[in-house]
Amino acid sequence: MDPVALTAVIAAAAFVVVFSALLAVRALRRRARKGLFVREGFGRHAVPAGVGGGDVRKPDVAARKERKERHGRLYALGIVVAGIFGTLAMRLWSLQMISGSSYQRQAEQNMTSEASIPAPRGRILDRNGEVLVGNRPFLCVMAPKSALDDPVLVGLLSLVLGIPKGVVRGKLRNDSLGVQANRVLATDVSMEMVAFIREHQRIFPGVEVVERTVRTYPHGRLAAHSLGYIGPVSEADLRLPNPSIAYEGDDYVGKSGAEFAFEGVLQGTRGTRTYRVDVEGNPVALLSESPPQGGSDVCLTIDLELQKATDRIIGEVLVSSHQKGFVHANAGALVCLDIEDGGVLASSSYPSYDPGELATGISDELWEELTREGSGYPLNDRVIAGLYPAASTFKAFMALAGLAHGVIGGGTQATCTGLWEGYGEKWPQKCWIWPSGHGTLGLEEAINQSCDVFFYEVGAAFYERWEEASDEERTDELQDFLKTWGFGSVTGVDIPGEAEGRVPDADWKRAAFSATPEGAQWQPGDMSNMSIGQGDLLITPLQLANGYAGIARRKMLRPHLFHRVLNDEGELVVAGAPEESEVQPVIDDAAIARVEDGLRRVIARTGGAFDLLPVQVAGKTGTAEVAAAQADFSWFVGFAPAEAPKYCVACLVEQAGDGSSAAVLGVQHTLAAIYGVDAGEIVVTEGSRER
């Protein structure tokens, strides 16, 4: 029978039994009274002789009414008493038979409690299995929260660990860990501290020394921005909905880079310890223990040896730029992509930081050092988040746009005198070679010579088509085409912090300059400036590298750092695979072949270390003009082998002059490292001053 129905039956039965018992008692009492007493109102008095029966007293009506009321009250009382006993019986049955097992479990739980054990994070490896981020064991001192009630113990801990009493109390009060979990008071403690505590365990009741792991970075600052760093879990982290991970207050979590992106794989599963506790909830004995399970290892697409090379190269380019007189050349970016699958083989952003210094939390002093003005903002990943004018590296995409929309034909030429007056004499625009000029040239040679005048003409033709179209038919055909090559949107790389960049158009300018209506109009100069990679156009080094990789492979892929996941036995769990980008250009092989011809000519004209390589390279210089108070930014991008592209390298050096003097060295020496060629010393030269 259903337990609820059975309980109701038992309650009803108890009611009937109790009520019947009350009725039986009443009946017995009436019988006893009838045998022992003469009922009032019917007794006989002594009567004189001669008095007849007519003088016998009659029953008192009032007395009978009173007896009747008394009987009613007795019945009501009986019902109430029976109901009470029935309820008690029902409750007793419920407690004993239905909820008994539940209360027994609760009682057992009140006698025991569980505390969790942190799990080591998985390692981060390069594509060949070399350790980029590992773990090392360390000793930490822990104590139960109940130590707060012992001022002598708090004082001893403060003295031995060398931390103020207030800090000890604050750590003991940490309520994010649960009552039974021991609190971490000090990490990475010395063996002298450990020996003293263990030798004097009697005066340190409940205090234990346990082994934990801390992140290690065997190569220091190497690839710091790609790897990222960890830090103590924050209140915001604890509130984040992540069904796969139940964070606790002493966890460390990924804060940036791969540590953040692959947190769900790297974070292990906590173990548990079950304690028997006293009435106050303090643990008195360890009953059982299940060990923690470490996180899985994540292999990145990064090649350790190539990453070492690019970190060294970008630093040496900046040093040489200083020696050449570019004293403000203090930052740069260098990235190498695998053209075949979009994997990031190396990514160097300068200045950098040591993630090991952040592995146990960031002090106020360190945070100030990393973020103050003049620091160079080393936490910023310039590869994916640095926004710069594209300069002449953008001319390859302008050429493809002109070919796709008929602005450039097979015989299109322009005559460069060093000065372009296509918008009238009032608004002249110079070529970088001014005042001499390039003469008459076609597309391929315009790319090679980086002729601004040729591309001013391309931009002007797009503006004329835009202006002449009606409002209903007007489209941003140039900007829309450029966006299909990944500009103006994130590439989708699988680490956080990527910037979108900007491809300006009339709507953007109207919104950006809404406070100044005169400046909010889309002007012809906006289009011609964008045609040489200047104006309001902004890109990231990763976007540029991915765009050129798209030219080389005839398809846009999402760049990525994820390569594969390995379990604790080194077995493959998940393997990465190339993913197509959300944006895809319409590919015209003939158009791309013409652009590649121009890019090969650039390398042939540049020479230098390119001549030492065993393969042909295609590439482009760029010199970005920025604020008047700053020197030009140096760009170079190239891919190799030109006939069967495998590697694409982009380099940006802030305030280091033109692209043929500084950034070109970053690309040359990276390709030399890939092909095992000694390219000699990195020395920044005067350059050609070309944009």
**What is the per-residue pLDDT for 684?**
92
| Same domain membership, residue 140 and residue 83 | no
Q: Give the span between the Cα atoms of 340 and 248, in whole angstroms.
A: 42
Q: Counting Cβ atoms within 10 Å, is residue 626 exposed (0-12), middle (13-18) or buried (19+)?
A: middle
Using one digit for the tens of pLDDT, what is the confidence trace for 607-623?
999 999 999 999 999 99
Mean pLDDT of 332-359: 96
What is the pLDDT, as a whole number, of residue 350?
A: 97
Residues 423-463 have pLDDT tens digits of 998 999 999 999 999 999 999 999 999 999 999 999 999 99
**3 state DSSP class of 376:** coil
Residues 154 and 282 in one domain: yes
What would the mean pLDDT of 484-511 be, rounded to a whole number? 97
Please compute Rg for the chain using Cα positions. 43
> Is pLDDT at 280 greater than 70 in this prediction?
no
Q: What is the domain range of residue 13?
A: 1-23+66-98
Average of per-residue pLDDT across 153-182: 80
Q: Is 510 exposed, middle or buried (0-12, 13-18, 19+ CB in 10 A)?
A: middle
Which has the minimum average pLDDT: 280-284, 327-331, 503-507? Answer: 280-284
pLDDT at 34 (0 to 100)? 58
Number of domains forming the structure of the chain: 2
In a domain, 177, yes or no: yes
Residue 125 has pLDDT above 50, yes or no: yes
Domain assignment of residue 289, yes or no: yes
The last residue of a domain, from among 285, 300, 315: 300
Residue 62: predicted pLDDT: 63
What is the pLDDT, as a whole number, of residue 63?
61
Q: What is the reported pLDDT for 42?
A: 44
Same domain, 150 and 273: yes
**146 lies in a domain?**
yes
Do 7 and 148 reside in the same domain of the chain?
no
Domain presence at residue 658: no
Same structural domain, 228 and 260: yes
User: Residues with Cβ < 8 Å from 14, sequence gap 6 or more?
Assistant: 82, 85, 86, 88, 89, 90
State yes or no: pLDDT of 285 exceeds 50. yes
Q: Are 167 and 161 in contact (CB under 8 A)?
A: no
Do both 153 and 79 map to the same domain?
no
Mean pLDDT of all residues in 637-660: 95
- pLDDT at position 529 over 70: yes
Is the pLDDT at 140 greater than 80? The verdict is yes
| Confidence class for position 78, pLDDT limits 50, 70, 90 | low
Contact 438, 430 (CB under 8 A): no
Say whether both 9 and 72 belong to one domain: yes
pLDDT at 43: 46
Q: What type of residue is 245?
A: I
At 358, is the pLDDT very low, low, confident or very high (cuts 50, 70, 90)?
Answer: confident
Q: Is the pLDDT of residue 157 over 70?
A: yes
User: Which of 118, 346, 353, 357 minimizes the C-alpha distance to 215?
Assistant: 357
**pLDDT tier, 3 (very low <50, low <70, confident <90, very high otherwise):** low
- Least confident stretch, 364-373, 451-460, 473-482: 364-373
Note whether 142 and 179 are same-domain residues.
Answer: yes
How confident is the prediction for the chain on average, in pLDDT? 86
Residues 189 and 262 in one domain: yes
Q: How many CA atoms lie within 13 A of 279 on its CB side?
A: 0
pLDDT over 80 at 379, yes or no: yes
pLDDT band with cut points at 50, 70 and 90 for residue 394:
very high
* CATH number assigned to the domain comprising residue 152: 3.90.1310.10
Q: Is residue 13 part of a domain?
A: yes
Q: Which amino acid is at 310?
A: T
* 144 and 83 within one domain: no
Pair type for strands 124-125 and 297-300: parallel
Closest alpha carbon to 399 in 559, 554, 212, 551 = 551
Mean pLDDT of the 312-341 span? 96
Nearest 5°: the CA angle 541, 546, 548 is 100
d(CA 42, CA 664): 134
Write down which residue in 300, 318, 340 finishes a domain: 300
pLDDT at 385: 97
Is 115 a residue whose pLDDT tops 50?
yes
Q: How do residues 412-421 score in pLDDT, each as one tens digit?
A: 999 999 999 9
pLDDT at 56 (0 to 100): 45
Dist CA 669 CA 676 (whole Å): 10
Most confident of 23-37, 78-92, 307-321: 307-321
Reading the block at residue 330, the tokens are 């203090």
Return the amino acid letter for 634.
S
In a domain, 596, yes or no: no
Please state, in angstroms and rounded to a whole number, the distance separating the CA atoms of residues 541 and 348: 11
Mean pLDDT of the 108-120 span: 73
Helices 589-606, 541-553: crossing angle, 10 deg rounding:
120
Q: What angle do CA 303, 308, 313 make, to 5 degrees?
A: 125
Q: Tens digits of per-residue pLDDT, 550-572?
A: 999 999 999 999 999 999 888 99
Q: What tokens does 646 get?
A: 């495998």
Residues 379-383, mean pLDDT to the nearest whole number: 97
Look at residues 275, 300, 325 and tell me which one is the last residue of a structural domain: 300
Average pLDDT of the segment spanning 390-397:
98
**What is the rounded average pLDDT of the residues 542-549?**
98
pLDDT at 210: 82
Instruction: Report the pLDDT value the prediction gives residue 185, as an integer from 0 to 100.
Output: 87
In a domain, 652, yes or no: no
What's the whole-number mean pLDDT along residues 384-398?
97
Q: Could you tell me which residue, 305 or 11, shows the higher pLDDT?
A: 305
In which band, very low, low, confident or very high, does the pLDDT at 384 lie, cut at 50, 70 and 90?
very high
Instruction: Say whether both 287 and 173 belong to one domain.
Output: yes
Give residue for tokens 């190339």.
578
**Are residues 208 and 87 both part of a single domain?**
no
Q: Higher confidence at residue 54 or residue 494?
A: 494
Structure tokens at 509: 């300018």
Whether residue 531 contacts residue 261, with contact meaning beta carbons closer than 8 Å, is answered with: no
The residue-averaged pLDDT of 311-316 equals 98
| Range in 150-164, 336-350, 642-656 the model is least confident about | 150-164
Q: Distance between CA 355 and CA 228 in Å, rounded?
A: 7
Closest CA to 443 of 479, 480, 482, 401: 401
Predicted confidence band of residue 374 (pLDDT cuts 50, 70, 90): confident
Query: Distance between CA atoms of 193 and 188, rounded to whole angstroms?
Result: 10
The pLDDT value given to residue 437: 95
Measured in degrees and rounded to the nearest 5, phi and psi for residue 569 equal -105, 10
Spatial CA neighbour of 660 closest among 631, 686, 683, 628? 686
| Range from 113-127, 209-223, 322-336 that averages highest in pLDDT | 322-336
State the pairing for strand pair 208-216/271-277: unpaired
Determine the pLDDT at residue 117.
80
Residues 6+ apart with CB under 8 A from 443: 399, 402, 403, 408, 412, 454, 594, 595, 598
3-state SS, residue 145: helix
Q: Which pLDDT tens digit goes with each residue over 236-268?
A: 776 666 656 777 767 888 999 999 999 999 998
3-class DSSP state of 625: coil
Instruction: Tell me whether residue 83 is in a domain.
Output: yes
| Tokens matching residue 39 | 């009922």
